[in-house]
Chain A
Amino acid sequence: MNSQFRGVLKQIVVLLAALVGALLIGAVFLLLAKSDPIKAYGVMFAGPVSDKFGLTETLVRAVPLLLVGLGIVISFRSGIINIGAEGQILAGAIGAAYVGNSFPDMPAILLLPLVFMAGAMSGAVWGGIAGWLKARLAVNEILSTVMLNQIALQLYLFLIRGPLIDPQEVSYGTGVPQTALIPEQIWLSRLIPGTRLHSGLIFALVVAVLVYVFLWRTSTGYRMRAVGAGPEAARYAGINVQWYLVLAMALAGGMAGLAGVVEVTGVHHRALEGISAGYGFSGIVAALFGRLHPLGTIPASILFGALLLGADMMQRAVNIPAAMVMVIQGLVVLFVVSSDYFLKNPSSVANLKVKLFGKKVNGEGGK
């Protein structure tokens, strides 16, 4: 127990060190942009935690990040790389909006589960296609998910500007590509009045626990992880590898689809342009932050949600170009992913010290 605690502590220390490294490089660019790094970072870190607004907005971003991240955990643990979450979010959003608007008079207790099912299924089908292509036709999933993202985007735009467009947009002649508002009874309740924080947060947290139980406490989950650990060995052990690949991608897609559902029912109340908002990529990073563990992904999503919000607030507070947000994100990802090295190789930190300072420094790795 003690050593386990130490392990976690070490991980946190290394992650924080990586974050600091990224911010140091980021400071160079802030200086180039003629703004004060200390003030800028002050806003970035204080903004998301200093008031109700910041905290709730952080969590609003954490919800889709967590759901996408859980899907990424499932797929990566099963040995399949899902870069298609952007498209799967769109599939989930459009499925939810369509079903929601199809039964405007149905009571929430029936309609809400139906809408969640529809969104999850849409995402699962979209993800499952990539899984099936890999399992049956050996089509690399990186290739197919990249392509499927583009296809999903075009189909989504077609649906929200064509068959599913808000009829009012047509009658007023404005033609904005968005669906009609979904019936009010299935708007997720706002947890804190005057903010956008919605009950999707609770849903996502429950799903995170379920995913943990599924992967580590059920035989299906065990087999999926076995496939991820080594498909050859898994096949030798009699596991139907192909089936679990399809299942993994369908589940990953379903999770991303649910992210689309909560964005529709919790935040926008309709399907509109740009709803995926890059969560499909940021979610991958959140999952990695969380060491590909369902429960680790929870704090990771919150941290990353705060980062996204804080960097965006920086734009307004110190007048730097919006592109800086992306620079900082990119640096954080590169540093964090590199920090893995120091976790996996306990001797590496000592070696680094030797390289940097030219003499052997006695100390524990990771401190």
Chain B
Amino acid sequence: MDLFGSFALLLAFLFAVYAVFAGIAAIRTRHPLLLKSARNANFAACILIWLATASLVYLFFTDNFAMAYVVAHSSRDLPNFYKFAALWSGQEGSLLFWSFLLAGYTFAALFVNRGKHPELMPYVGVILAGIQLFFLTLNNFIASPFQVLGRIGPDGLARMIPLADGRGLTPLLQYPEMVIHPPNLYMGYTGFSVPFAFALAALLGRYPGEKWIHITRRWTMIAWGFQSVGIILGAHWAYAVLGWGGYWGWDPVENASLLPWLTGTAFLHSVMMQEKRGMMKVWNIWLVFITFLLCIMGTFLTRSGVVSSVHAFAQSSIGPWFVGFLILILSVCLLAYVRNRDYLRSDNQLDSMVSRESGFLFNNLILLAACFAVLWGTLFPVISEAVSGSKISVGPPFFNKVNIPVGLFLLFLTGVGPLLAWRRTSLESLRRNFGWSLLAGLIAGVVAFALGVRHFYAITCLMLSFFVTLTIASEFFRGARVIHARTGMNYVSSVVHLTMRNTRRYGGYVVHFGMVLIFIGLAGAAFNQDVQMAMRPGSHFNLGRYTLVCQNFEPRTGRNYTAERATIEVLRGGRQLMMLYPERRFFQASEETGTMVSIYSTLREDLYVVYAGRDPDSNVPVIHAYLNPLVKWIWLGGVILALGTLLAMMPNREAVLALQAAPALAPSGLASAQVSTLPQPITTYGSQD
């Protein structure tokens, strides 16, 4: 099976090479057979990559400890659940996983658009095959996951030496979320390849109009949705596993995932300017390019070890390859832009300074400013060392100081932007749309201040959250009121009807509401408390309204670890509330320890208890407890954001009905003409905001 995997990868590499060169030749000669064979080579490469990945998974499940990668990341006692996750736990496997997911996107993009867009798709095929070729080069020749352990015998022949057991999976990765967090994030990273390929193809092929945007809108949203969910899951994993009481440490690897998300978010907004008004073509195409470049850069930061990180699991000397690839992509993008920039001339015209268009401009500015600040802070230690020779750190205090004001301004725009009208918004309209929401926000701030909240950013965040929530609610209410008045539907049905009539707009609002909840959760961090104490059985301490009493410490054994578990009784108002069981685990195979945090989570606050180890002097166990307000709102916001994204990707109800009605209209000539125009609303609905 090891030979099968490496052979499949090698064959996939050859097919990808063919897909690139035959595709280029087909574009030049416009030979239909060559075009078809290039596309089929792309399909074949995808299938072979899937087979190679399946063979590696099989090697994990069959405990094949002759394979270096299996030995390094698995062991016999590793639960099957995690044997699957071991696939992407190391350098080689995660690169193969990149190829695997990219193959999925490539196959889907080419298959869904087969027979369509003949001027565009050959370019798309070449670009996607080119990206795949880079990863296949790494998979085959730089970091193969199919290397076997062996040595040269006395007869000069190489022999495989299977080991009795593997070294096991890193304890930090033995957590259920690690089975879903990395795939989500990778689906985001790889997913941005599709809009990138279409954008570059449109530029290279001078494809007319904004059609590439309509084609890729859902692809972009899929990638963005996965990236969002991946980031939220990653934060939850850090919170529940790393045991430091927080969820976002501005670690370079975390930052790397945030960068393309920020530019991708900017693109999802500014693209509406192009669809609706034919504006900002250059900006949009560069946003797509930058988003993809940041995806590759994120992978580079994770893999290269150029910046130190607590959870860069797979570092190696692979960095220069990624730098080379980044330079190559940037050069291709620049060249394509310089040669075809006249194609991107836009109809940029602003009717008023106060309009939806100006709102989008500021939205993009703020998102890109945040992106720059994060990138700058992440890379500054490297820049500083190169320029001044001195090593410095750029930690969470820097990122918080720089990004919190930017984030709050963005939250403000989240409320203002959607209610600004296209072309022009009058002062009367501003007063009507924002008056009550602004007033409610101010009242919320005053009430919070009266209740003793003195943290400036927290109060501002609360006021803005009220403001944005009410603007969103009023948008739903006003629409529903009209439908209610015209059709007699009740308000709930009216809201559903309204939402399903324009899923993109109202799904977007749901996403915004999810972001509001996330911001509220983040603001809660201003009021975090923690206590750390060496505890013997019977001792106790108070934290907020809770009393924590240490009951005992006891050993226990799991399938592939031994552990010491603390039993902590939690009292509130003198009455027992619950028992918490934080523990520290020791994994025999990898000889590493891991933390199992115990959390009592409510909408108001999280009581987060960590067994921090033993005091170096007294050898008494130390319990570290945190009281983190509003953290649950972040996870709730993440769920709502994901649901909103799904909603925004759904087709509008009217468009679906129109398509369903199509066959009945077919018989007459006139009806046939109508039928032929029927699918059009899908694309026009797609252009609604």
**A, B from the same assembly:** no
